[in-house]
Amino acid sequence: MRIELVHTVNPDVAKVILSFMETIVAEERLPASVTVNEDENLEYSVSTAIRVHGPAGEELIMPLYGHVISADDLDRIRDFICRAWQEFTLTPILHVHGRTQIAA
C-alpha cells in the first residue's frame, strides 16, 4: 500500500500532515510507504489531498480543505488511512475465507 500526500500550496501545512502520516504508519505498523507529490492539477478544488493506492491499482482519495489542520482533521486522517488499510488488505482476505467482519 502506498500513501501519497498531494499538495499545491502551503508547504508548512504539508510538513505537519506528512509527519502525522508517517507517525500513523509507524504506530499502526502498516507496511506502507508515504510519499509526497506536488500536483498542480488536483481533481478537487482543494490545496491538499491524501491518496491511498491499493495493491491492485485501486485508490481512495481524501481531500483536505483549508490552510490549517485541526485535531479533528488529524483524527479523520488516521481513520481514513486505517479504513483504507482494512479495505485494501483485510477485507479481501476475510472475503476469501467466507467472513464478512473483523472480530472485535
Q: Could you tell me which CATH class the domain 2-96 is placed in?
A: alpha beta
Q: Report pLDDT digits (tens) over 24-79.
A: 999 999 988 998 887 666 565 567 889 899 888 888 989 887 667 788 888 999 99
The domain segmentation of the chain, as residue ranges, is 2-96
Whole-prediction pTM value? 0.77
β-strands 2-7, 48-53 pairing: antiparallel
- Is pLDDT larger for residue 37 or for residue 101? 37
Determine how β-strand 48-53 pairs with β-strand 33-38.
Answer: unpaired
Q: Say if residue 94's pLDDT is above 80.
A: no
Secondary structure element (H or E) that encloses residue 61, with its range: strand 59-64
